[in-house]
Structure 1
Amino acid sequence: MAGYGQFCPVAKAMEVLDERWTLLVVRELLLGSTRFNELRRGNPKMSPTLLSKRLRTLERAGIVRRAGAEGHVRYLLTPAGEELRPLVEALGAWGTRWVGGLGEADLDPHLLLWDMRRTIDVDAWPRERTVLAIVLTDVAPRVSRWWIVVRDGQVEACDDDPGFDTAVVVTTPLRTLTRLWRGDVTWASALRTRDVVLEGPEGARRRVPRWLGQSVFAHVPRPEPAPAGA
């Protein structure tokens, strides 16, 4: 990209980070994605060509380094890249606090389940293989059914029935599940209004909020609503 023509360090940093998708690629790397396909899953609307281009730019800037042989390449953050962590976390907190609205284009079951899969606390789940089924009521049938499988300390998010017994079935709109994940609404309120319906043994149903957890930004304090007429 063209430079800003300023000596200011903020301007120089933005010459590297200001291109579309760049910081979202860094976000994925900070969250532990290292393979090209993992980075694509975290940014599903980004083309492979553009992802390759952004990775090359980040390499040239000394933010990312490649490791491994062709076909088994991993992308790793350098110390300069790791130093971006507080910046990305601050942007996430700011966005949670001040940019609240969710449009239809922001709702993506693949991205939501990917984000949930990698942050699930497996220690909260039973030691034996446990399957949670999710039925999304406001999306196309081909993306409406998902299964989360936890076993041996590993988590899988499947859009094909894995064929195992299900502990609980969670039925909800994608928008509601996304808002629960973001911390915009509470499980108690969603269950009370039946925006979320849980089917299964009572003990397992009670554990679902703990099993699924929430986004790392879910507990960011939100501003108080403006008084009526203000």
Structure 2
Amino acid sequence: MLGRLYTTQDCSAARTLESVGERWSLLILRDAIFRHYVRFSDFQRSLGVATNILAKRLDSLVADGIFKVKNEGGHPEYHLTEKGRDLKLIVIALTEWGDRWIAPGPVDFKHEGFDEPVKLALYSGAERVETDEVRAVRKPTAA
């Protein structure tokens, strides 16, 4: 079984998994990003996860700078930071993949202003690029 840290991997994807790779973490993020949940009780009710597991995941996401905690009326609220909000694309990508390869889910992503569907796409400059045209190239600054 893999541990939480991937110290032997020189890879940004592996380092990202150290923060958000645990399955409850992504579902917490989904609820924060799209349902705007901020309270422990909202996450717990939505996910049905044990409270001790939820507390550990939220603490980890706070420690990694993905959430910040604000105390409102004596109750902690978990607000996404910019770092956390940037994970929206990851959740959309996983959802699109699941819709295509597992089973269609109950939501579509739509543009707020135009109510039009949105899909993730890759671009090089202004030109759309297909995924099979993309390759990983080591950065000149990499060791």
In the TM superposition, residue 68 of structure 1 has moved relative to its aligned partner by 1.3
Q: How does 1:17-96 map to 2 (within 5 A)?
A: 17-31=20-34, 32-44=36-48, 46-69=49-72, 71-96=74-99
Percent identity for Structure 1 against Structure 2: 34
Report the alpha carbon displacement of residue 80 of structure 1 after superposing the two structures with TM: 0.3
Measure, in 2, the Cα distance between the counterparts of 1:20 and 1:88: 12
* 2:124 paired with 1:216: no
Q: Write the distance in 2 (CA, Å) between the matches of 1:220 and 1:78.
A: 23
SS in 2 for 1:75: strand
SS of 1:6 mapped into structure 2:
coil
- The answer to whether the Cα contact below 8 Å between 1:67 and 1:76 also exists between their aligned partners in 2 is yes
Q: How far has the Cα of 1:58 moved from its partner?
A: 0.3
Alpha-carbon distance in 1 for matches of 2:87, 2:27? 12
Q: Does the Cα contact within 8 Å between 1:93 and 1:220 map onto a contact in 2?
A: no
Q: Secondary structure at the match of 2:75?
A: coil
TM-score (norm 2): 0.68
- Cα distance between partner residues in 2 of 1:41 and 1:21: 13
2:39 counterpart letter in structure 1: R
- For the pair shown, which has the larger CA radius of gyration, 1 or 2? 1
The CA deviation at 1:20 is 2.8
Output the CA distance in 2 between the equivalents of 1:96 and 1:220.
14
Aligned pair count reads 109
RMSD across aligned positions (CA):
2.4
> Which of the numbers 8, 12, 34 marks the counterpart of 1:9?
12
Shift of 1:69: 4.9
Equivalent position of 1:125 in the other structure: none
Secondary structure of 2:37's aligned partner: coil
Unaligned runs of 5+ in 2: 111-116, 120-143
List runs of 5+ in structure 1 lacking aligned partners.
101-178, 183-214, 222-230
Residue identity matched to 2:4: A
Would the aligned equivalents of 1:97 and 1:220 in 2 still touch at CA under 8 Å? no
One-letter amino acid matched to 2:31: E
Report the Cα offset of residue 42 of structure 1: 1.9
TM-score scaled by length of structure 1:
0.43
**1:217 Cα deviation (Å)?**
5.5
